[in-house]
Structure 1
Amino acid sequence: MNVIFNVSNHLIDNTESLAEEIVDGVLYSMKLEIPLWEKEQAIEMYIEFINFLGDSLIIEEEKIPETLVEWSKNNAARQVSPKGKISEILVRYPPTREIFTDIMTKISIDFGLTLEDYAFIIKRINNMLDISLNETVFAFERLSDEYKEETQRELAELSAPIVLIKEGIAVLPLIGIIDSYRANHIMEKIVPKIAELQIRYVIADFSGIFLINSDIARHLHQIGQMLNLLGIQTLTTGLRPDLAKTIVNSGINLSEITTFANVKQALESLNQ
């Protein structure tokens, strides 16, 4: 235990140089270049990591510094974007373990640690890194789900904007790919808003839709029926042959729908 005590003091007394050695070693082995602020943040985290490791060797406490947890979560947060990949963070862990092992091997030789003591320290390091790895993955998954949900909400709002043409008349341009999420958004958010605006005629323009399936066609038909029940007449424009075929295949009778080739024709019919 006296030898372990000496190793503990060595780690605590040399935290800064050891932290820099770890960070520089990982960057060199992976041929990575990162911003100075990110490097400094990593060094600060490893300073606390090594301090905590040194203390834990004496009190034999298998916990993890809160800074390491936060650092792991922040790493995940920086990768949450359309092009972000969690693999860019995870690939740093194997070289980190290797460099830690090299450092502790040298220290073990210098201090004459037994194989049992050496294995104990390596196990403690790997446990802390495993917790960091788990925190990174968990945070990435949670933040990714939140990001996707927020993106879905934003896209849903953009995919069906209400465009007021004149008093009592609005165009509802349907844009992009209408999925079940966006169809529900129209039903739950757009339809009540149309009713609040006291609109009498809604021109649902399909010319901007890339693709719909039979289920979505039925959803959109239900939305039209709901508007009719509210006393709002729905006119449909921009139905391409492929969209019309999907609607027919879904069991919807096109003869029940007032259709026009484009928005201009629909407006002209209302002005007669």
Structure 2
Amino acid sequence: MDQIVRVSQYLQENAEQLIDKIVEDALKHITFELSEEQLQIARQQNIEFLRMMARSFPATDEEAAAELLDWAEKQGETNSQNMDEFSQSIEPFAQNRLVYSKHIAQVALDLEVGPAQIVRIMNRFNYLLDVAMVQSIQSFEKHQAAKLRERQNQINELSAPVVPVQDGVAILPLIGMIDYDRMTYVLNHVVPKIPKMEVDHLIIDFSGILTIDSEIAQHIFTLHNVLQLLGIHLYFTGMRPNITMAIVQGNIDFSDFHTYGSVLQALAAIEKTR
């Protein structure tokens, strides 16, 4: 145990110098560019990992992994913020393991550690490296998924703006492909904002819509009913034949819909009601 403690203390005290050598060797084998910021982040992560691993040498695998899991979760989040693809971290993984192993084994030999203790040290290193990789991947994926959801919400918001055009009149232009998520966003996030805008008449313009299916048509019917219950008069414009056909195929009663060929026609109709 005294031999393992010597290695542990040496690695903790000399982590920065050792990681500089490991990073220098590892950079010879990567096939993509790293910015200076990414390089510094990687260097700091490896220094923390080496010290953590060294502290764990006298502990059990379970005790060592407990501290590592929290650390790896944070590293996965950091990598998610600085890398678009986790493959940038995984691609050199096998070679990095060899580089790490070479330097740690050399330290143990220089400190005259016996073969059995070197095996124990290397087993601990490989165990913790695998734990760190799995946890970092899971953390990376979790934070990437959160980023994607945030971006999708931003896209939904930009693609479904409520634009006031006259006193008490606004237009909701729908653009692109309307799917379940987009329609759910409109119902849950856009509709609640409309009464606060003091809108009495809302024009929903379909001119920018590529296509919809019968399920989405049913959501449009729900949207129509919800806004009517809120006392808002609803007008549909720019509905091409394929959109109308989807509404008919959804067995939706079209007779109560106020439909016009263009926004100008709908505005003229609203003007007559005043």
TM-score when normalising by structure 2: 0.84
User: How far does residue 69 in structure 1 lie from its aligned partner after superposition?
Assistant: 5.4
The answer for unaligned runs of 5 or more in structure 1 is none
Deviation string, structure 1 residues 157-196 (Cα, Å, up to 9, x no partner)? 2222112221222211112222223323322333333333
* Matching residue within 74, 77, 81 for 2:81: 77
Q: Secondary structure at the match of 2:206?
A: strand
1:62 aligns with 2:64: yes
What does 1:136-155 align with in structure 2 at a 5 Å threshold? 136-155=136-155
The residue type equivalent to 1:140 in the other structure is: F
2:176 is paired with a residue of what secondary structure?
A: strand
Q: CA deviation at 1:263?
A: 0.9
CA displacement at 1:224 relative to structure 2: 1.0
Instruction: Give the conservation status (yes or no) of the 8 Å contact 1:172–1:202.
Output: yes
Alignment partner, residue 180 of structure 1: 180
The residue type paired with residue 132 of structure 2 is: S
Partners of 1:148 and 1:248 lie apart in 2 by 34
Runs of 4+ aligned structure 1 residues displaced above 6 Å come to none
Partner of 1:270: 270
Q: How far apart in 1 are the matches of 2:87 and 2:125?
A: 21
Q: Is the 8 A contact 2:53 2:64 kept in 1?
A: no
Residue 173 of structure 1 aligns to a residue whose secondary structure is strand
Write the letter of the residue equivalent to 1:76: S
Shift of 1:268: 2.4
In structure 2, C-alpha distance between the alignment counterparts of 1:36 and 1:194, rounded to whole Å: 47
Give the TM-score normalised by the residue count of structure 1: 0.84
Q: What residue in structure 1 maps to residue 214 of structure 2? A: 214
- The residue correspondences of 1:1-272 to structure 2 (distance < 5 A) are 1-12=1-12, 14-58=14-58, 62-63=64-65, 64=67, 70-79=74-83, 84-110=84-110, 113-272=113-272
Whether the aligned pair in 2 keeps the contact of 1:164 and 1:171 (CA below 8 Å) is: yes
